[in-house]
Structure 1
Amino acid sequence: MKTNGTYLIPLVAIAVATVTTFVSVAAQAEAYKNTEETMVVVSSRTPKAISEIPGTVWFVDSEQIEQEYRGGKTLGEILSATIPSLDVSSGARTNYGQNLRGRAMLVMIDGVSLQSSRPISRQLDAIDPFNIERIEVLSGATSIYGAGATGGVINIITKKSDSDELQFESYVSGTTGLNGGDDFDYKVAQSISGGTDNVAARVSAVYTETQGYYDGEGDIVTPDISQGSLQYNKTIDLQSTIDVSISDTKNINFLAQYYDSQQDSPYGLYIKNYKFIDVRKGFESDRQHGTERIMLSAAYSDSEFLSHQLVVEASYRKEDQTYTPYYQSASQQTTDVISLKTALAKSFGKVNLVYGVDAYMDKFDSNQALFDPTIDNNSGNLVNKTYAEIGRYPGVEVGSVAGFIQADMDITDDWSVQGGYRYQYMNNKIDDFVDYKIQKKIAAGNGSSADAVPGGETNYSVGLFNLGTIYKLTSDSQVWASFSQGFDLADPAKYYGQGSYSAVDANGHYALQDSINVSDSKMSGIKTNSYEIGFRTEQDALSFQAAAYFSQSDKSVKYNKQTLLIEDVDNEKRVYGAEALVSYWVMDNIQLGASGHYVISELQTDGKWNDLSAGEASTSKASSWIGWYESDLAVKVQSQTMFDYKDADDNELSGYTVFDLVGSYELPVGSLGFGIQNLFNKDYTTAWGQRAQILYSSHYDAAAYDYKGRGRTYTLNYQVKY
């Protein structure tokens, strides 16, 4: 990691904020601390005070979320601004490479996992911030949730009715970079909530439409053909929550969401003879990037079930995800997930126990639309018309069942120990599959049949352990140490179904010669051990939390840069670093804050530890802010810096600093929200744009993946609650 003059402003801001904070503590500033403990469920599956948790927990409340999204930020940008160890936002549809503590994160909505057997990395393109009440984040690998949470867990809690009276919330917003009429975005949202003593409901609808993104130089941003941007995109988020009080001890909560985010861009990459020329209008395609999701869940709780507290949650999620043309084809990938979670909690004197069973069934399928090569070539790949559909990846069905138990015990009034164990069994069923390259040849008329790579079943059994201890130095300060294990199963669809074939015979048949199949090459699971020590304090005007961590996995995934499929799961990987956040009320209406994450990611090859590829490694980052808050006016100026990174192969990520302004003003009726994103009109390539150039460099010129950040943009909105 390199530091130069570009980063002096935010680093000085961090230093000033930190020094000011600790010097001013002695001044006994006026109290700002909330007298009620903040409770979260992300750490132990049942509500628990943050001060009782031996781990790094971040809590983003409704006021923070509202201030940020009214300033023009997306969910990914909000999380990056508020969670120190979460990488900078991609600025695009994907959150690939936006790691938590250098590893993949598990994202949930009201406890329903958005994880799938195919990690398509669109979990943050899943809900509009208008519908979010709060966000709970647990940093670091956790054994509590099983597979997919080696970097941590983000639990998004939706808004619900909080009154028996009928309530409305209306919202309208516009965003522009003043680049003519081609970059005006707008959003409209409406919610209705209310109910009776026993039944309360909230129904909401959000519609967002974006147009062109322009960089700091005023040029149209190159469309992201790899994972997808949100330019020229239309999004609908329909959501309903119903809370039913059956009795004083029994409740049922229902959630239904329909989310549809689809791109329809007039701009495309003009490509001739497989060489990228420029970005042009005239793009038409039968498929573009899009995500359509239906999610349903029902949670039943009973605080007096056989002297236990019982929580049962059943959910269903269906996703249909499409991609834009890439090498004259585009995929469609569908996922269906059914899950059931149960948890029982009971106190035995000084011992608190939580235990239960989780199960899910995940079914994945996919296809690839092949576009007419004549039309494509004549139009420079701007016009894409489907002439055939073939299989893209083998069909995969994953079944899992797990049992867990967590216990915490008070050794003294100030010292407690917590630990637990989770045993998870997973069964993977892989369909027979003809290699994708051979299917393309057959579709083009070069052959008529082929042997399939054999599918089959694989089973995994894994035990995950966690142990932590926390000590209360004072009623407001705690120090902790913990160990936890996480588990990942690499994408089976990208591993199986690969084969090498002989030349087509006289009958038009391709004979299979060698393959990656289930019986001969079972894919290894990946286990991660994570350690951390930390400290936090909540004083009158001061909030501070910091932790140092180390995590090491026994294996890691290696991809073929040409095919983008998994070659093997082998070498060890380790990630270590530190994260911290400090905020301080200097005066009644002025708050200073700063956060930072220092991270090192390494891969062991040939017995040596080398820097992890810049295509997937996290970079260190820093943020700082100053906020002014009065009864009618709130304004905050904040910075975010991504630092440089260079890997063992000399691939580089160039760091950058971006400043934003967000605020709101109370009117006699309703309020105005406003924001200026990229305040100083910085011209830069996003972290994802730089990663894509490394990951896909064997396909097109680097310029084809130069996905830049949006230049200075202005947001103005009006919101009224009545």
Structure 2
Amino acid sequence: MIKNLLVPLSFLLIFFSQTHGQNIKIHGLVTDKNSGIPFVTIEANKSLKTQTDTKGHFTLFVDAGKPVVLKTLAVGYKSLNIELGALQRDTTLNWVLEQENNTLENVIISATRKPENIRNIAASVSIVSKKKLESEMTINPDLSTILANQVPGFAPTAQTGNNVGQNLRGRPMLVMVDGVSQSSPLRNAEVDLRSIDPSVLQRIEVVKGATAIYGNGAAGGLINYITLIPDTAAKFAGKTSVNLNGSLINPKNSGGGRINQMFYGKVGKIDYVASGTYEQTGEYKDAKGDVVGPNYSLGETDSYNAFFKIGYQPTKNQRLQLMYNMYSSLQNSNFTLVNGNLATGQKATGILGKPLGIPTGVDYNHNIHLSYKIDSILLNTSLTFDTYFEKRKDVFYVSLGRFDGGDGQSLATNDKKGARIFLETPVLQTSALKATLAYGADFLKDKTAQPLVDGRTWVPEMDMTNLAPFAQASITTLKDLIFTTGLRLEHVNINVNDYKTLRTTNATGGTLTPSFDVTGGKLKYKTYLYNAALKYNHFELFSPFISFSQGFSVMDIGLALREAKVNSIDKINTDAVKVNNYEAGFQSTYQNLTFLASVYKSTSKLGIEVVYDAATGLFNTARSPEEIYGFELAANYKMMPSLEFGASYSYTEGKRDIDNNGKFDDGVDKYMNGRRISAPKITGTVTYSPLSVLDLTLNYTGIGSRNRFEKNSAGVYNGNEGAVKAYNLFSFAGSYRANKNTNITLGVENLFNQDYFPARAQWFMQPGFYSKGRGTSINLGLSVSY
């Protein structure tokens, strides 16, 4: 039983303990036969704790003459206990850990911006491990699909190039790569999930609920893509992976392929990873063998990813790291859209022909990230400094007859530069009370705009400067009671130049919104964000937590600016959204069973829901107070070493206070629509390894029904308010290790060829997006390591 867990980032206690008279040093290396294992937790006599560095080295000080029992805890490895007896001199100890399947209790995450054991986090977190990523990629490498299958509370996928309606618990989330934001609250283009290829990820960390420590844009939580680190001590190693995929229902023109080449290794104090990926998909076919509607379809898409990371460790307690990632994914379709019919249920599809406009998707997304970390400076303080740059362009579909009586195709541009400093200092360490203080500041410069491809301005450039100092304290008392609290101060300035709105028209050319000049200016925001949480870890059978956290996001400023009905931005409602998130839950571990449960409520005095205006046929923003609530359940059971089960259930509901009287149950109050609140979701997984070289996985994702709105006078639902009918999807992943270096995989998506409309197609209620889901498809893969 794991007891007496101490404050995170505990390798700093090495230095602190020296000041308290502990004078026997235990040091060494923890490996997995091939290389050092980073961030292994090493516990001494259930009262002292440290972690290995990025190379697997550790140092720990204990009292002389007292018996010592050491225990290891590491992600994906079996724990190991060693009794050393009473030590009289410094000791060198090297361990070799045995790998095992990841469990929920041992995963280390960075929810608090530093390595942390999941048992110490007083919030709902989900980890998509490297093993789960590889299993999902065997079926489909689309990250929006992987997250929908693996993360409770995350909305179902639409199998398209954008992630409209995919959020966390009904609120927008912050998508990051190694802590660098890929999202922009200035204009939420809802394309940020597809920012990187999953082949270069070590894991995905998902923190649900408003989070104050990351600030602007994280009102619903965060998704952090953690990139690869070398897993070998060799100077040069590599892996080549090739995949072929296509429809099993109608194979004609559906064939696609994917190739990834990766090199990695360690040379002296330098480690590196370099990867290149190219993927081309064929035509996507539904369960009837027909072409899936081409609007944002992932069919006929060319994707590229180039990734490079190099690390330099001059000493054991320092690391300098540079990462570059480029991602592009553009649809080059041979089909023009045939709209669906919402009244009759006729699906959208395509006919051969050149689509209007330029290819849609991620034109480019460049990320450069430089970080420096030192484990101990003044007062045993650790320091991490980051600087980063991101530049991306996304292209959207052509809107027919919308602008000045003609067609228009928009794109979103985003240019970020930023820097962060993060420090942590051990404040107190006694037998009864231990405390650390984390503090720092984030600086971000974000320029975002949404012009049309032909050069006309739809959303003017918004230039945001965001400075946010913060402090976070962590206190452990009674050995197992962990209390965290923190404060963040957001300073946001947004500059907008004078601009002219675009005239929009209806199908007959009539004016819906006129064109007029708008005076620009500066928008200023300043607010405090507070968080507090409590968790008790004494019993593995019942480890409860409660938390309160505030989130903040400048509303979708770009959407408000392009919809302007007044001649100055200081007259437009651009108030920010501040969210209060309340949550309670527990983790329970009994032998090979782990169970997680949480309930939550999220409130805000202002919301930002995109609602449909039947009079104009346009989507506008509603700024009513909001209340969202729900619960999540997750379980994992390892029946035997070769057989494991997993399941989850998530439910979310939300309402708007239309009359702004502080109540959400009046007759005029409304449920939030499908774009914000997803239908209930249930997932299940069975993993079976009958042989040491064979892994078989069966996945299930079920989307429940949700019907909260009435049909309009035309007999159909308004946009974003469509009723969702339940559907059930199964998939299969198989992996066979032919020899030490060769792996063969087989993935089957939609195993039983369910004929269905994805949830988004049902609630969106737009004829061009009323497409069926993909039918049964196959993915064959071969990978060779060397």
Instruction: For residue 95 of structure 1, report the CA deviation from its aligned partner.
Output: 1.3
Letter in 2 for 1:546: A
State the distance in 2 between where 1:649 and 1:489 align.
32
Is 1:531 matched up with 2:531? no
Q: Which of residues 651, 659, 667 in structure 2 aligns to 1:598?
A: 651
- Cα distance, 1:39 vs. partner? 5.4
- The CA distance in 2 between the partners of 1:163 and 1:477, in whole Å, is 38
Q: Distance in 2 between matches of 1:705 and 1:664?
A: 35
Amino acid at match of 2:548: F
Alpha carbons of 1:282 and 1:58: their partners in 2 closer, same or farther (altered >3 Å)?
Answer: same
Instruction: Give 1:469's aligned amino acid.
Output: L
Question: Post-superposition shift, 1:42?
Answer: 3.1
Find the counterpart in structure 2 of residue 331 from structure 1.
410
How far is 1:72 from its partner?
Answer: 2.6
Matched, 1:305 2:305: no
Residue 544 (structure 1) shift: 1.7
1:16 counterpart residue number? none
Question: Does the CA contact (< 8 Å) of 2:610 and 2:622 recur in 1?
Answer: no
Change (3 A) 1:363 1:689: same
Which has the larger displacement, 428-437 or 236-245? Answer: 428-437
Give the corresponding residue for 1:45. 113
**Mapping of 1:356-371 within 5 angstroms?**
356-369=440-453
Map 1:78-89 to 2 at 5 A. Answer: 78-89=146-157
Instruction: Note if contact 2:349-2:771 (Cα within 8 Å) is conserved in structure 1.
Output: no
Give the whole-Å Cα distance in 2 for the aligned partners of 1:488 and 1:240.
Answer: 32
Please say if 1:580 is aligned against 2:624: no
Report the aligned-residue RMSD: 2.4
CA contact (8 A) 2:286 2:774 kept: yes
Report the TM-score when normalising by structure 2. Answer: 0.78
Is the CA contact 2:458–2:562 (under 8 Å) kept in the aligned structure 1? no
Equivalent residue in structure 1 for 2:293, among 222, 225, 230: 222
1:631 match: 692
Tell me how far apart the structure 2 counterparts of residues 52 and 174 of structure 1 sit (CA, whole Å). Answer: 42
Corresponding letter in the other structure for 2:370: A
Give deviations 1:500-521, integer Å, cap 9, x for gaps.
xxxxxxxxxxxxxx61532223
Please tell me whether residue 136 in structure 1 is matched to residue 205 in structure 2. yes
Paired residue for 1:503? none
The CA distance in 2 between the partners of 1:278 and 1:58, in whole Å, is 36
Letter in 1 for 2:698: V
Give the corresponding residue for 2:261.
Answer: 190
C-alpha displacement at 1:475, in angstroms?
Answer: 4.8
Match of 2:529 in 1: 464
User: 1:511-550, CA deviations, whole angstroms, 9 ceiling, x for partnerless residues?
Assistant: xxx6153222341111111111111134442222111111
Please, which of 596, 604, 620 is the counterpart of residue 545 of structure 1? 596
Determine helix, strand or coil for the equivalent of 1:528: strand
1:664 aligned residue: 735
Identify which of 494, 503, 512 aligns with 1:428.
Answer: 494
Q: Determine helix, strand or coil for the equivalent of 2:455.
A: strand
Shift of 1:278: 6.3
- Secondary structure of the structure 2 residue equivalent to 1:304: coil
Superposition deviation, residue 277 in structure 1: 9.2
The match for 2:214 among 145, 163, 176 is 145
Q: Does the residue aligned with 2:488 lie in a helix, a strand or coil?
A: strand
1:94–1:122: 8 Å Cα contact kept in structure 2? yes
Distance 1:83 1:303 in 2: 33
**Map of 1:673 onto structure 2:** 745
CA deviations on 1:221-254 (whole Å, 9 max, x unpaired) are: 1122xxx221110000000001111222221111
Q: Helix, strand or coil for the counterpart of 2:309?
A: strand
Q: 2:174 aligns with which of 106, 127, 139?
A: 106
1:368-416 per-residue CA deviation (whole Å, 9 max, x = no partner) reads 13xxxxxxxxxxxxxxxxxx53112121111100011110111211212
User: Helix, strand or coil: the match of 2:458?
Assistant: coil
Using the aligned pairs only, state the percent identity. Answer: 26
Task: Check whether the contact 1:402–1:425 (CA below 8 A) recurs between aligned residues.
Answer: yes
One of 705, 709, 721 as aligned partner of 1:644: 705
Amino acid paired to 1:322: V
Deviation at 1:712, TM superposition (A): 0.4
**1:77, distance to aligned residue in structure 2 (A):** 1.7
2:395 counterpart of 1:395: no
> Could you tell me which amino acid in structure 2 is paired with residue 301 of structure 1?
K
With over 3 angstroms needed to count, the CA separation of the structure-2 counterparts of 1:162 and 1:585, relative to structure 1, is: closer
Q: Write the letter of the residue equivalent to 2:376.
A: E
Q: 1:464 to 1:318 in 2, by over 3 A?
A: same
**1:159-190 deviation digits (Å, cap 9, x = unpaired):** 12233411101100011113233111210000
Find the counterpart in structure 2 of residue 173 from structure 1: 243
The aligned runs of 1:347-426 (5 Å cut-off) are 347-349=426-428, 350-369=434-453, 388-426=454-492
Structure-2 residue corresponding to 1:474: 539
Which residue of 1 is the match for residue 56 of structure 2? none
- Point out the more displaced range, 576-585 or 517-526: 517-526
Going from structure 1 to structure 2, the CA distance change for 1:522 and 1:456 (only over 3 Å counts) comes to farther
Give the Cα separation in 2 of the matches to 1:177 and 1:279.
17
Q: 1:557, 1:566 within 8 Å by CA — same for their partners in 2?
A: no
| Counterpart Cα distance in 2 of 1:33 and 1:203 | 26
CA contact (8 A) 1:288 1:325 kept: no
Indicate conservation of the 8 Å contact 2:339/2:770, yes or no. Answer: no
Q: Which of the residues 59, 63, 75 maps onto 2:127?
A: 59
Larger RCO (alpha carbons 8 Å, 6+ apart): 1
Give 1:564 shift: 8.4
- The residue type equivalent to 1:325 in the other structure is V
**Which structure 1 segments of 5+ residues have no match?**
1-31, 370-387, 500-513, 697-701
Equivalent position amino acid for 1:603 in 2 = R
Which residues of 2 match residues 437-452 of structure 1 at below 5 A?
437=503, 452=517
Does the 8 A contact of 1:128 with 1:237 survive in 2?
yes
Question: Equivalent residue for 2:66?
Answer: none
Contact 2:286 2:775 in 1 (8 A): yes
CA contact (8 A) 1:453 1:497 kept: no
SS at match of 2:775: coil
- Secondary structure, in 3 states, of the residue corresponding to 1:360? strand
For 1:212 and 1:263, how far apart are their aligned partners in 2?
Answer: 11
Shift of 1:68: 1.3
- Answer yes or no: is 1:619 the counterpart of 2:713: no
Cα 1:676/1:558, change in 2 over 3 Å: closer
Q: What TM-score, normalized to structure 1?
A: 0.85
Separation of aligned partners in 2, 1:40 and 1:151: 21
Quick one: distance in 2 between partners of 1:586 and 1:257? 40
C-alpha separation in 2, matches of 1:34 and 1:597:
30
Q: Does 1:208 align with 2:269?
A: no
AA aligned to 1:97 is G
Kept after mapping to 1: 8 A contact 2:165/2:674: no
Q: Could you say which residue in structure 2 is the equivalent of 1:376? A: none
8 Å contact kept, 2:348–2:772:
no
1:344 aligns with 2:423: yes
The residue correspondences of 1:173-322 to structure 2 (distance < 5 A) are 173-178=243-248, 179-224=250-295, 228-270=296-338, 279-291=350-362, 292-306=364-378, 307-322=380-395
Corresponding residue SS for 1:51: helix
**Letter paired with 2:467:** V
Q: Deviations over 1:17-52 (max 9, x none)?
A: xxxxxxxxxxxxxxx984287454432111111111
Q: Secondary structure at the match of 1:596?
A: strand
Rounded Cα–Cα distance in structure 1 between residues aligned with 2:373 and 2:237: 26
Q: Is 1:35–2:79 an aligned residue pair?
A: yes
